[in-house]
Amino acid sequence: MTAAVATIRAHTVLTPPSLVPEILLYQATELTAIWQATEAWLAVHNVSDPPFWAFAWPGGQALARYMLDHPARVAGRLVLDFAAGSGIAGLAAARAGAAWVEANDIDPLALAAVGLNAEANELAVAALAGDIVGSPCRWDLILCGDVCYEGPMTRRILPWLKAMAGGAEVWIADPGRAYLPADGLESFAAYDVPTSLQLEDRTTRRAVLYRLLPDAT
């Protein structure tokens, strides 16, 4: 067992997220413990990402719910779960009948979690490591759950995602984060996602699914 897998197994429980009972994820039950454990792992491996992968964020849950309820939108397509965290959106795409699913995250622990979660659900999701912002499009559908929570990150990924939207469908699922762009988005579904007060400042967040419109130029 790798150190990453051991860290994940030791500090999480295999449970379904609130809105998606069909999928099991290795999730943290207590924020402080997972944060401390991850910091210890980070210190050894010299990286600095917080344990986003240990939670199913409202955006990822809304994407998963939509795809499981509308499998025809996903079936047979080449799918990228971008900034995948636990991989919840990619797992739902695979369950909904996507032809091929890749999950990308810059956090290596997230990719290890995606592998464990895929195995637990008997689904095929390929882990795509590293920073892929700027790479050419080879997908039909790009899923982005909860990616507008930080200014520098959003400013960096959005121009690339808009360029991708010229050749693929790009879905952003957002629960009201500060850096969601004010225009260039077309909403097509929304869900009230039960959330934990440990992570959010309320017990429910409304996550809206948007199609990102390509640049007009």
Binding stretches for ligand SAM (CB under 6 A): 49, 52-53, 56-57, 59-60, 83-86, 88-89, 104-107, 110, 131, 133, 145-146, 149, 153, 157
Query: What minimum distance in Å lies between the beta carbon of 133 and ligand SAM?
Result: 5
Distance of CA 208 to CAs 18, 45, 71, 145, 194, Å? 16, 36, 18, 10, 14
178 versus 216: smaller Cβ distance to ligand SAM: 178
Residue 193 CA to residue 196 CA, distance in Å, equals 10
Query: What minimum distance in Å lies between the beta carbon of 4 and ligand SAM?
Result: 14
97 versus 130: smaller Cβ distance to ligand SAM: 130
Task: Check: CB of residue 52 under 8 Å from CB of residue 63.
Answer: no
78 versus 153: smaller Cβ distance to ligand SAM: 153
Task: Check: CB of residue 67 under 8 Å from CB of residue 45.
Answer: no
Query: What minimum distance in Å lies between the beta carbon of 41 and ligand SAM?
Result: 14
Query: What minimum distance in Å lies between the beta carbon of 26 and ligand SAM?
Result: 13
Query: What minimum distance in Å lies between the beta carbon of 44 and ligand SAM?
Result: 18
Task: Check: CB of residue 193 under 8 Å from CB of residue 19.
Answer: yes
Q: What is 101-149 written as a DSSP string? A: EEEEES-HHHHHHHHHHHHHHT---EEEES--TTPPP--SEEEEES--S
30 versus 217: smaller Cβ distance to ligand SAM: 30
12 versus 104: smaller Cβ distance to ligand SAM: 104
> Can you tell me whether residue 194 is helix, strand or coil?
strand
